Amino acid sequence: MTDDTDTKTEPHGFARGLTNYGDRRFSLYLRRSFAASMGYSREMLDRPIVGIAHSASGFNNCHRHFPEMIEAVKRGVLAAGALPVEFPTISLGEVFLSPTSLKFRNLMSMDVEEMVRAQPMDSVVLLGGCDKTVPAQLMGAASADLPAIQLVAGPMSTSRHRGERLGACTDCRRFWQRYRAGSVDDAGIDAVEKRLASTSGTCAVMGTASTMASIAEALGMMPAGAAAIPAVDADRLRMAEETGRIAVELIGRNDRRPSAIMTKEAFENALRILLALGGSTNAVVHLAAIMGRLSLPFDFARMNELSETTPVLVDLKPTGEAYMEDLYAAGGIPAVMRELRHLLHLNVRTISGETIGERIDAADPWVDRSIVRPLEDPIRPNGGLVALFGNLAPRGAIIKRSAADPNLFEREGRAVVFTSLADLAERIDDPELDVHADDFLVLQNAGPTSEAAMPEAGYLPIPAKLAKAGVKDMVRMSDARMSGTAYGTIVLHIAPDAASGGPLGLVRSGDRIRLSVANRALELLVPAQELERRRAEGAARPETPQATRGYARLYDQHILQADEGCDFDFLRAQPAEATKPDGR
């Protein structure tokens, strides 16, 4: 019996990470015996292994085409001489989880990390897509630090309804807003419901899923052009096959581990792309979490600096009119990076071996200027996101200015406070609600330490009586998140959150708040002594029963604030962990 564990070469394939029975040769013999029951030949059993970690589920409509994609990955792996072995992990279908998918992102990241470490594989393909699956996979891969490459589901294709082009989920919100305002009836909203998401794939707009796919490509963790290919396009399968081939090439390459690819400079490149896309605010939380796994701090001041010199160049919904399939046809992320070339770290190495500069040089120079604008003619001269600070947000807050009304950027308004999501639901459409268009809607106790666990509830609805009067936007703020498909003048991720005792919980209806996007400021105009008095008598937050068991208890005890990515404290890397073992 040959046993590569007895040689000086590093064990590979099924010889990696053997279960210890006190006899390594027996352990390998036993493992091969059981693997043989799956019909593998000895030649296959001796090959290196590429794991395929996928997040398909009956509760994840975005991933229903994964079986076909997995077969394409396997083709690439087999053609390159390795053995592909797929395995499932937790799946996070955005709209199917309660209280919110973000609460389970860390659980999925732990699943990915531990299964990559525990099972015998030499590299791994991370197949995800729906909002939280890609950051969970990148977090887990960063912690395990086995050679890994990302592959995404790809965006849905758009459909049509009465001559109008539709795609989830900005159009979902647009039609629901019309329905709330009374301009669409029950039959109309039922008809639209069937046309908003008509293919497999992630949301068709520059929502969180598309943003994270674009960021994964900008980071160098995916091949060039991989982010925007539609889910139903044959190019998506060809990209899956190429991803499998590259995964084999990664085996034994320490210079292509996640920690070697996702460097500080790579994250700055990713931030530039996020800002140029007018991408999802959720990406800030996810980037902070991924960076934390690599002992890299997320610097909000640096993000603001980059935002001032990075124009918005891509005209996709929710901030524009086009969809992800249009970005793919227009040249994809390589076309965007070419416009920003002078701002990027061009020597950063990518998972496919070339540098970012070489990747840009190799891309097709053609670009559709109606989708990707030239640097000298941007959609807006500065980036889509900025961080705000002040006595209401000591650790920061985020506003997506590319999706907001500039007329509301420099305002002082009266607070109309909702103390919880239940309070919001009960009163927002009350005809007697004391609210005016120039007020600031404030939602408390929807942050990461609340019972709500930071849902995408920051997109507070316009009160019904104002919506029916034609009001389409007003300043709204909370410690919650909002979907990347949403739009409006909305301040989010206020940290620390109200449930942990942050100053947001001290706001009372009638208080004055000053918002200044130009000055990056969010100030509660209440004297310090009055705030201290309120703090002493107790913040307005509901009693939340503490979980006594399971993942909920783990979450309650270890969740961090939004500025630290809402990761668990014990999962973040310490400086000494900058170089990690491969987990065999």
**What is the pLDDT at residue 381?**
96
> Could you tell me if residue 430 is inside a domain?
yes
Q: Are residues 350 and 464 in the same domain?
A: no
What is the tens place of the pLDDT at every residue in 217-271?
999 999 999 999 999 999 999 999 999 999 999 999 999 999 999 999 999 999 9
CB atoms within 10 A of CB 375: 14
> Could you tell me if residue 153 is inside a domain?
yes
* Coil, helix or strand at residue 387: strand
**What is the pLDDT at residue 575?**
67
**What is the pLDDT at residue 541?**
58
**What is the pLDDT at residue 360?**
98
Tally of structural domains, the chain: 4
Q: Prior bond to 67 cis, omega within 30?
A: no
Q: Are residues 135 and 29 in the same domain?
A: no
Which stretches of the chain drop beneath a pLDDT of 70? 1-9, 539-543, 575-584
CA angle 571, 572, 574 (to 5 degrees): 120
Q: Are residues 398 and 330 in the same domain?
A: no
d(CA 315, CA 505): 37
**What is the pLDDT at residue 581?**
42
> Could you tell me if residue 543 is inside a domain?
no
Domain CATH for 468:
3.50.30.80
**What is the pLDDT at residue 6?**
43
> Per-residue b/e over 184-199, b at no fewer than 16 CB within 10 Å?
beeeeeeebeebbbbb
Whether the model clears a pTM of 0.85, i.e. scores above it, the answer is yes
What is the tens place of the pLDDT at every residue in 513-527?
999 999 999 999 999
> Could you tell me if residue 583 is inside a domain?
no
Q: Are residues 151 and 134 in the same domain?
A: yes
What is the tens place of the pLDDT at every residue in 527-552?
999 999 999 987 655 667 788 899 99
Q: Which helix (H) or strand (E) holds 84?
A: strand 83-88
Q: Are residues 318 and 241 in the same domain?
A: yes
Q: Which helix (H) or strand (E) holds 173?
A: helix 170-181
In the chain, the percentage of residues whose pLDDT exceeds 90 is 87
> Could you tell me if residue 481 is inside a domain?
yes
Q: Are residues 318 and 343 in the same domain?
A: yes
Q: Are residues 177 and 254 in the same domain?
A: no
Q: Are residues 4 and 61 in the same domain?
A: no
**What is the pLDDT at residue 539?**
60
> Could you tell me if residue 564 is inside a domain?
no
> Which range of residues forms the domain containing residue 16?
1-40
Q: Are residues 357 and 483 in the same domain?
A: no
Q: How far apart are the first and last CA of the chain?
A: 22
Give the per-residue SS3 of 258-291: HHHHCCHHHHHHHHHHHHHHCCCCHHHHHHHHHH
Q: Are residues 185 and 64 in the same domain?
A: no
Bridge partners for 476 per DSSP: 441, 490
Pick from 129, 68, 50, 44: nearest CA to 93: 129
Q: Are residues 240 and 274 in the same domain?
A: yes
**What is the pLDDT at residue 579?**
46
Q: Do residues 479 and 444 lie in contact, with contact meaning Cβ atoms separated by under 8 Å?
A: yes
DSSP state, residue 23: -
> Could you tell me if residue 579 is inside a domain?
no
Q: Are residues 152 and 266 in the same domain?
A: yes
> Could you tell me if residue 321 is inside a domain?
yes
